[in-house]
Amino acid sequence: MSINGIINTSLSGLFTSQAALQATSNNIANVNTEGYARVRVQTAANVLQGQSAGVTITDIERVVDQFLESALRTSTSNLSEYTVQREFHDRLQGILGDPAADSSLSAGLDQVYQALADLALNPADVLRRQQMLSELKSFSDQINLYHEQMQSLRGEASTQISETIIAVNTELQRIHELNPLLTRAQALGEETGGLEGQLALSLNYLSELIDIKVDRDSSGAVRIATSDGYPLLDTSLSQLEYDAPGIVGSDTVFPSIQIYRVDEELNQSSSSNDMTSHIRSGKLEGLLEMRDSQLVDLSVSLGELAARVMDEFNAVQNQFSAVPAPNSMTGKETFVDGAHQTGFTGLVTFAVVDDSNQLVASTTVDFDSAPPADFDALISQVNTALGGDGTLALANGVMSFTAASSTYGVVIADDESTPSDRAGRGFSHFFGMNDLVTAAGTGIFDTGLDGTEDHNLGAGEAIDFTVLNSEGRELTTISVSATGTTFQDMIDELNNVSGLGAYFTFSLDSEGRLSYEETSTYENIVLRVDDDTTDLGGTGISFTEAFGLGNAHRVNASRDMEVVESILEDPNQLGLAVFDATGGVGDVVLTDGDQRGALAFQDLETSLVAFETAGELKSTNVTLGQYVARFLGNAGLQAKRAQDLEEDNLALQYEVQQRNSDVSGVNMDEELANLIVYQNAYGAAARILSSVQDLYDDLLSVV
């Protein structure tokens, strides 16, 4: 080998050792840098024309295991999903409190029952009445608070979704900018460890936000998709979009998360597509799960609780009468009009009493043997029989009963042995003539309809539905227009196989409840009501509200729940007395201090109530107190489930992280050993170069 060849060989050794020393120093410097993967210099013998010509660097590579990196990103996404769920449940548990605490919902209901027991001892005591009403108000206020906070948490989840999407877009843009730098560096054979480190950090953070799958093309650029293969970044950049609504309520229809491609050269975006169903884990999925599923389930079960509490207390309040009787009763909004058949069975008495509780006039309607043809006929029959002393009226679905004289009172009393009944409720209870507790919605959808009555819907009125699959992906949107004249005509239209009937089958049961189930073609699909412009006969009640289609109408039973203000102001309006249907005109038919109403209220503590399936709580017959315990227990169970899933995934992530660190992490002992090796190699190459220099000097001195 020539002297020049020796020089070139030693120089290649110097340069290679210098590069190896630099790589080793970088490894040592980044020993505590999160996400850093150590680099390793790959060398090969340099051969020119069959002769050895020193050493060359073939690659400076990051030491990574692609499988472990992918597994780490997956475990990071899963952990982030359950962490955000656990955080929301922690906040919710802080609102619900300890079920055993005196301030809990269970304790609140127990205090109502205690006040009722005290009231039963002396029903005429105004202070005991006030105490009972105060405890019931406190219980209602708690339910209101829970409702508001659950909707607030849904709103917070929606806001965080918007913020998370901004973060996703930022990381996608950053990776999109790194791609050409990586491609250039690889093409020129430059060291890419620094760029790869930045890319790894960005990918790790992105995996916290959304589930991703990462591939490399031949140029070195990364391609990113969701775990189900939907592209986020390939040859062009994609961006996500979500417009969070400002105010969130039970009826809020959230927009879907859209994705669109960005054409940077033309400075424009393509049309967007629904991205929601492609999100399978990560913070985004955790937020979507809380917003659209878990908090909704809890809100529905809270609404079911509120609805049954209202229904049970109102049933007693409407069964009995206040003393003195109120001058007027005005019911709640219903879908009923005068031409509808009454649908009642049994007997009910309409009476007018004076300020001495003496009967002025009364009439009993027998819905069994002599039923009025419709509500107009019923009203005419009652008003004629009362001879002007009292007036029964129905306007826009609201029933009212008013005494002619300002000193008179009105009473609606069911027969003791054969009470009036429509869908399990007496006349006064059905129309809410003397309700004790009200809310934004009733939560009870036993209409008593048999389908033959006219719906009185107008032309152009329609209901907009969306059908979603089990993953929340939109399958179709369907608009059902008002059709026909009867409720059955509308049900037939819902069952139209060219529309909604292809997905669901609707039916009306004997109590007038409208239910639906999936057709045999589909499984685990969801029906969502997006908009409803129908108005049943000008009553202000829509078709979906009357039948409780959509979760919002069930949830609204816990919104604005309150004790009727007039009863709070005057506890004497509490219905505790039984009307004496055997009394004649001039007889005292109501007695102040009657204990029977108070005892009926007290019996609510042990009465079994039929609850429908609500969220994760299945249909059951339990007491109100037991259902409160089930509601609180289910909320706690969901919180514990989120915590357990977080802990399990944290342990899994730690294990994967340790294994990945064993491969990619910096081992100080190994790096220090390499440092000595490369130093010695550098010194040896320098010594050879020095020796060659001496040879040159000797040769030149000879000349």
Whether the pLDDT of residue 268 is over 60: the answer is no
Average pLDDT over residues 652-668: 81
pLDDT score for 627: 97
- Binning pLDDT at 50, 70 and 90, where does residue 21 land? confident
The more confidently predicted of residues 189 and 592 is: 592
Average pLDDT over residues 296-308: 97
pLDDT score for 266: 55
Whether the pLDDT of residue 652 is over 90: the answer is yes
For residues 427 and 342, what is the distance between their CA atoms, to the nearest angstrom? 10
Whether the pLDDT of residue 1 is over 60: the answer is no
The more confidently predicted of residues 668 and 573 is: 573
> E strand or H helix at 554, and its extent?
helix 551-555
Which tens digits make up the pLDDT trace of 441-450?
999 999 999 8
Q: Which residues of 427-445 are buried (b: 16+ CB within 10 A; e: fewer)?
A: bbbbbbbbbbbbbbbbbbb
The more confidently predicted of residues 48 and 315 is: 315
The more confidently predicted of residues 562 and 663 is: 562
- Binning pLDDT at 50, 70 and 90, where does residue 703 land? low
Tokens, residue 71: 């597994």
Determine contact, residues 181/195, Cβ cutoff 8 Å.
Answer: yes
Whether the pLDDT of residue 89 is over 80: the answer is yes
Average pLDDT over residues 463-488: 91
pLDDT score for 470: 80
pLDDT score for 434: 97
Q: What is the DSSP secondary-structure string of 64-123? A: --HHHHHHHHHHHHHHHHHHHHHHHHHHHHHHH--TTSTTSHHHHHHHHHHHHHHHHH-T
- Binning pLDDT at 50, 70 and 90, where does residue 295 land? very high
The more confidently predicted of residues 466 and 62 is: 466
Determine contact, residues 139/112, Cβ cutoff 8 Å.
Answer: yes
For residues 391 and 388, what is the distance between their CA atoms, to the nearest angstrom? 7
Average pLDDT over residues 602-610: 97
Which tens digits make up the pLDDT trace of 491-515?
999 999 999 999 999 999 999 999 9
Whether the pLDDT of residue 54 is over 90: the answer is no
For residues 238 and 163, what is the distance between their CA atoms, to the nearest angstrom? 17
Tokens, residue 223: 């391609």
pLDDT score for 484: 94
Q: Give the three-state DSSP class for 235.
A: coil
Secondary structure of 130-147 in HEC code, one letter for each residue: HHHHHHHHHHHHHHHHHH
Average pLDDT over residues 462-466: 96
- Binning pLDDT at 50, 70 and 90, where does residue 403 land? very high
User: What average pLDDT does the structure give for the chain?
Assistant: 91
Whether the pLDDT of residue 281 is over 60: the answer is yes
Which tens digits make up the pLDDT trace of 544-601?
999 999 999 999 999 999 999 999 999 999 999 999 999 999 999 999 989 999 999 9
Whether the pLDDT of residue 237 is over 70: the answer is yes
Q: Give the residue extent of every domain in the chain.
A: 3-63+665-702, 157-278, 462-547
